[in-house]
Structure 1
Amino acid sequence: MSSEGTPGEGKYWYNVNTKSIEKGAQSDWSQLLGPYDTEAEARTALEKVQARNDAWDAEDEEDD
Structure 2
Amino acid sequence: MAFWYNVVSGQVESDENKSQGDDLMGPYATQDEAAKALESAAARTKAWDDEDRAWDEQGLED
More helix by share: 2
Q: How many residues of Structure 1 are paired with residues of Structure 2 in the alignment? A: 55
| Aligned alpha-carbon RMSD (Å) | 1.2
Q: Does 1:38 align with 2:30?
A: yes
Question: What is the one-letter code of the residue matched to 2:13?
Answer: E
Counterpart of 1:21?
A: 12
Gaps of 5+ in 1: 1-9
Percent sequence identity is 44
1:4-53 Cα distance to aligned partner (Å, 9 max, x none): xxxxxx31100011100101162121211111111111111111000000
Give the counterpart letter for 1:11 in structure 2. A
Q: Aligned with 1:18: secondary structure?
A: coil
Please identify runs of 4+ aligned residues in structure 1 that moved more than 2 A: none
- Structure 2: gaps spanning 5 or more residues: 57-62
User: TM-score w.r.t. structure 2 length?
Assistant: 0.79
